[in-house]
Structure 1
Amino acid sequence: MRAVVLNCTLKPSPQPSNTDALAGVVVEALEGHGVEVTTIRLADHDIPPGVESDLGGTDEWPAVRRAVLDAEILVVATPTWVGHPSSIAQRMLERMDAMISETDDDGRPVAYNRVAGVVVTGNEDGAHHVISEIAGGLVDIGFTIPPQAWTYWNRGPGPGPEYSSTDEGHEWSRSTGRAMAQNLVGVARALAAAPLGPPAS
């Protein structure tokens, strides 16, 4: 089984990413379940705005899309900025919009029979709102969202330290991340055994 983590931090490599640090907990847990995990930091790639799967030219989204569709599990990891997902996360959803009308050989939307979860970091509150925005978009695109398929860390209302600069609240975020990985794998295995068919007409 394979998983792809799309890190939607605004920081290109090799800058340290708090979002990557928390996503690493989920990656480690997934690997503990025998899942092969690939992490892609979208800020490192040329992904122009649009709602098509391939905009041509230097567009690197087609390779990201292929990685997502070659996996059974998708994890979207994003920081919180002004109470919302990062602009890169929003762009990712916009580029995935094309998947809604793309079908596989059996007539199913291409995202069907894949599960997805969300990782959120931020030193202010708003994580549940961000999780809802990302998860809602992924459901529209065709992904299955298992129960408690998320983890987050934030310090609470008001500015404060970042995830990597404090140990505050880490154990809760880690245990929730491990539960998230377990649920993603469980539902992915269930869908592999009994896949969804094409939508009823």
Structure 2
Amino acid sequence: MTDLTALVLTCSLKKSPAPSSSETLGREVLTALGEHGVTGEVVRVVDHDVRFGVSLDEGDGDGWPALRAKVMAADILVLATPIWLGQPSSVAKVVLERLDAEISESDDQGRMLTFGKVAGVAVVGNEDGAHHTSAEVFQALVDVGFTVPAAATTYWVGEAMGGVDYQDLEEKPESTQGTTADVARHLAHLARLLKDSPYPAAG
């Protein structure tokens, strides 16, 4: 059954084709989702000219409207971000700020257009902060209408101040692989439930 779609937004600071650990983990989430009948794509945000702002379209060639169309077409959104200074990347924060515009958008039943879409997070870094990073991202995503399933974060954090990146590991940790599989299972399960039984109309 391939009735669900997913979009992984990679919030690396590096443009393609530079290697990206957050993109590596994001792609692993998408692969795991494929085992549950979910198809989709990975998009690196910095490859697009996404402007600062909190509107649907900041004009003058803004790259966000095209990415927003992909978000709106997907049932599942995964934000893959590195940790910088203990926080989500600046690129992830730009994405969340742009999604703030969804608060003002609604369907003919008064529901935000993001209602019924589920969200997960993938985090990588060489410092502590994976739980803090995912907490910041999830709070913002819930505020703009996404639904978060149980255990919806997968992450890898290397040795503090270390020089090894997730993408360079010869063998991926079983704990991260197992968590990624769980996240995919939960995302697909909840997305299918919400697709079959949408949120009620606004009161």
Q: Shorter-normalised TM-score: what interval?
A: over 0.9
Kindly indicate whether residue 136 of structure 2 is the aligned counterpart of residue 136 of structure 1: no
Secondary structure at the residue paired with 2:22? helix
- The residue aligned with 1:197 is 200
1:48-104 per-residue CA deviation (whole Å, 9 max, x = no partner) reads: 100001111110100111110111100000000010000000000000000011102
CA contact (8 A) 1:124 1:160 kept: no
Kindly indicate whether residue 77 of structure 2 is the aligned counterpart of residue 77 of structure 1: no
What do you get for the CA RMSD once the two structures are aligned?
1.3
Number of matched residues?
200
Unmatched segments (≥5 aa) in structure 1 = none
Distance 1:195 1:80 in 2: 34
Secondary structure at the residue paired with 1:66? helix
Amino acid at match of 2:17: P
Distance 2:104 2:159 in 1: 39
- The residue aligned with 1:166 is 169
Hey, which bits of structure 1, 4+ residues long, moved more than 4 A?
Answer: none
* CA apart distance, 1:20: 1.0
Secondary structure at the residue paired with 2:83? strand
Kindly indicate whether residue 97 of structure 2 is the aligned counterpart of residue 94 of structure 1: yes
CA contact (8 A) 1:112 1:143 kept: yes
- The residue aligned with 1:53 is 56
Deviates most, 52-61 or 158-167: 158-167
- The residue aligned with 1:125 is 128
Secondary structure at the residue paired with 1:49? coil
* CA apart distance, 1:106: 2.2
Amino acid at match of 2:32: A
- The residue aligned with 2:17 is 14
Secondary structure at the residue paired with 1:98? helix
Secondary structure at the residue paired with 1:53? coil
Deviates most, 122-131 or 168-177: 168-177
Distance 1:175 1:100 in 2: 34
Amino acid at match of 1:54: D
* CA apart distance, 1:26: 0.8
* CA apart distance, 1:167: 4.6
Secondary structure at the residue paired with 2:19? coil
CA contact (8 A) 1:12 1:43 kept: yes
Distance 2:24 2:78 in 1: 14
Amino acid at match of 2:13: L
Q: Give the TM-score normalised by the residue count of structure 1.
A: 0.95
Distance 1:101 1:2 in 2: 24
Distance 1:186 1:162 in 2: 31
CA contact (8 A) 2:109 2:202 kept: no
**Cα 1:126–1:168 shift into 2, 3 Å:** farther
- The residue aligned with 1:30 is 33
- The residue aligned with 2:191 is 188
